[in-house]
Structure 1
Amino acid sequence: MAMGNGYGAETIFDPGSVQWVLQPRGGRPKRGPQNFEHSVRQGIRLAEYEHVLGEHAELLKGIYPDGVARLWGASPCETPGHVKAVAIRDQKVGDEVLFYALGKFIAKARILGLLRNRELAAAVWGAEEGQKTWEHVMALGDIVEFDVPAAPLLRELVNRDDLRSLTLVSATSRQRHLGLLNNLLGGQELKGRQPSEAKRAASAPPMRRDELLHALGTLDTGISEQEATRDVSLTLLWAIGRLASGQSRLVPRDVCAKEIGPLLLDFGVRDVNVTLEHTLGCLHRTGLWEAEAKDTGGLKREAARLLQKPLTRAEAIGLLCGSYLPDVDQGELLERVGLAGYANASGAPGDETNGRQTGEAAAEGRGRRQVNGSRPDRDPRLAEEVKLLYKHQCQICGERLETRFSHYSEAAHIQGIGRPHEGPDDLSNLLCLCPNHHVQFDKLFLFIDRDWNVRRSRDGKLLRTLIRDPGHNIDDKCVEYHRGLCGRSTYGTNQD
C-alpha cells in the first residue's frame, strides 16, 4: 500500500509543517551500520530490485530518475499507542529524518516518499527470525552527515539522554528546538550537500520540458565546432540510454571513457583521446551536464527527471537524431546506446509487424496472428473498424488500393503499443494507410503537425492535409508523441 506522495528532490516544503523523525540506526552488534552504508549512504540500484518494486515502481523511479534510491525502513509495531506506531502512522512526506547512533546524531535527510513493501524490504535488508522485516519504507533525499552529541537535544524532546525507538517530533516542537540543533552543529563541516547549496537548489525553479527541448535543439548555438556538437549529441543519447535502462545518471570518468570512446570513434570524430575531454567540457556549457566529483559526472538531476517521462524522452531522442545526426545509421546507433525501440514508431525490434495483417487475407479479415508472449496483443476488430470507416482510403494520399475481390489498406498505430512507446490499442490511436505511407509513417519519414498537416520529417516540407472522418476522434497526445519521435516537437522545428 502506498503511503504519502513522492516528490523530486527539488520540491520546496513548508518549513512550518516539517516534523522530525528521530530514527535509531542501530549499533555495532546489529546490522544497522551495514544497512546504513548499503541503502542510505551508497543507495541501491532500482534496476536490481525491479522484481520486488511492484506497485511502487513508478513512485520510486519518479523520485530517483538516476535509478539510485536511498531507502530506510522500520519494522511493524503491533501496539497502536506505542511511540513507534505513532511515528509510522503520522510521519509524512517532507519531514526531516535525524539518524541516531551510539549517543550521537549522525545524519539528516528529507523524506521524499513513504511506502509499505515487505518484499522490497526483505530483498534490501533481509529478514529477522519469524520473517519480520523493515517494511515501512522511507524514500530519502540527499544525505547530510555530521557527528554531534544527541543528549542535549533528546533531553528537550523526549526527556531522555538516549533514543530507543523511532520517535516523531511535532512541527511546533521542531521549530522551537531547531536552534539547539544548529548550535550543536556549530561550524562543523558537513559531509554531503552543504545547507547553502541545498537551499539554492530548492529555491531554483525546476527545469521545464520546453526549456530542456530548447537546450537540446540549440546545441549548435552554444558549441561553435560542428564536430563537438555531433559528439555532444552522441554522448547525450548514450546518457539517455542509461536512464532508460535504469542505470545511474552519474557515471565515473573511466566508464565514460570505456563506453563513450568507441561510440565517438564509430559515429563521431576520430581523435577520441582529445575529443572525449573536449566533449565533456562542451556538455557542461549546455547546462544539462554536471560534475558531482572530480572523476564523476552525468546529466543534471532536473534533466534526468524530465527524461524519465515517455513523451519528453521520445522528443529528446528524435530531436538529437534529426538535428545533429541525420547522416548516420540511426537504427544501428540507437541499438548501440540501448534505445533500439525509438528507431521506428512501432517499438522494439520484432514488434513492427506484430498483429499487422498482410495480403488479401487482411482485407478479408482472415489474417493469421501469431503473438509472442512478450508482445502486446492487438485487437483485430479495431484495425477492421478504422479500415471500414475510411473504406480503405489512405488518410495521407487518398488512394484506395484495389485487389481482385476488394480493397487493401493497413491500420497503423500512431504511438506504437510495443516497448518502449506503450501507446493505447484504441481506435483513437489508429490511422488507415496504404502500405507505402504506413512504412514511411512507421520509419518516421512523415509526421503530423498541430494543424493536421502531413509533413516530411527531414525538412518540415508540407505534403498534404491528413484526411479525417468526423466520426474518428484521433488522440492529440499520440500524435504529439509520434511528432516528437520524428524530431519535430514544439521546439527545434522549421515548419513553413
Structure 2
Amino acid sequence: MDWLERTAKLRQWSRSGARAPHKPLLFLYALGRFQQSGDGELQYSAVEKDLRQLLAEYGPPNKTTPAYPFHHLVSDGVWEVRTDRGPGSPGIGVRELRATGAAGRLVPELRVALRREPSLLGRMARVLLDLNFPPSLHGELCESVGLELEPAETEQLATVRRRRDPRMRELVLTAYEYQCAFCGYDGRIGAVPVGLEAAHVRWWAFDGPDDVDNGLCLCSLHHKLFDKGVFGIGDGHHILVSQQFVGRSPAAREHVIALAGRPLIGPQPGARPIAAAHRSWHTSQVFHGSPRPVTAA
C-alpha cells in the first residue's frame, strides 16, 4: 500500500479554493503522538482542546469543530475510531464523541508500516505540510503537534506535488526592489539581501501560481504574520491589520498596528501588482476577523 499517495489524497471539502485543513491537522497531530509514544491512541475528550486550538491557529477564519475530522478521517483508510460500545464512530457530534468515550488512532496497517520503516512518518508529515500550509508555518506547526522531522525527509515527491518555480524569489524581490512591501526593510550583508522573502498571496498549496502578481517581498517577520492572518491586502493595495491582533508593546504598535491602512511599498513601475483574485482568496481564507479601522496619525 502506498501510504504517501493515500496521505496526499485525503478527501477534503473543496469549493473555489476554500481551505479545509481539518483532516491534515488531525493527521499531523496523530503522527506526532505516534512518534512520541509508539501507539498514539487519542481519547477525544482528552485532545479536543488541543485540536480546537490547532484549528483556530492554522485553520480558516470561519468557526469549525474538531469533531468533524475525528469522525470523517475514518473514510480515508488511515484512521479508526472506537467507543465504549465497540468499533466505529458514533457520528460527527461533539456530545456523542464525548459521551461514548470515543478514541481514535492510526489504523493497524499504518502503525505496522511506520514501525517497519521509521522514515515513512516524516515523509507523510512532509506531504501533509506541503499540500496544505505555506513553508513559513511548517516549523512552528511541527512544534505544535510534537513532530520532529529530519532534513532527509524533505525529498521531492513528484507523484503528489507540482514543482515550484525557483525563479519566483528573484523575480518578486526584484519587482519590489529588495525591500519589504509593508515596512520598507532592505537589509543586506554586502550585496546579499538578508531577512527578505518572497511570500505567496494565494498559497502555493492552494494552486497559487509562482508569478509576480501572486507575490510580495516581505521581511521575515511580516511574512510570518501575513501567513498567520494578522495582515491582509485590501482594495487599493492598502495593508489590513486584523482586529484580533493584540500587542501592547511599542514594537508591536510600530511594526504591526501602525501599518493599518498604509499603501504597499512597490512594486516598481512596469511590474504587475497583486491580482485581485489572489488578494480576495487571502482575505477570505487566511486573514482573521475584521480589519482595524484606520486612525489618523
Q: TM-score, normalised by structure 2?
A: 0.44
**Larger Rg, first or second structure (1 or 2):** 1
Q: TM-score, normalised by structure 1?
A: 0.29
Ranked by relative contact order (alpha carbons within 8 Å, sequence separation 6 or more), the top structure is: 2
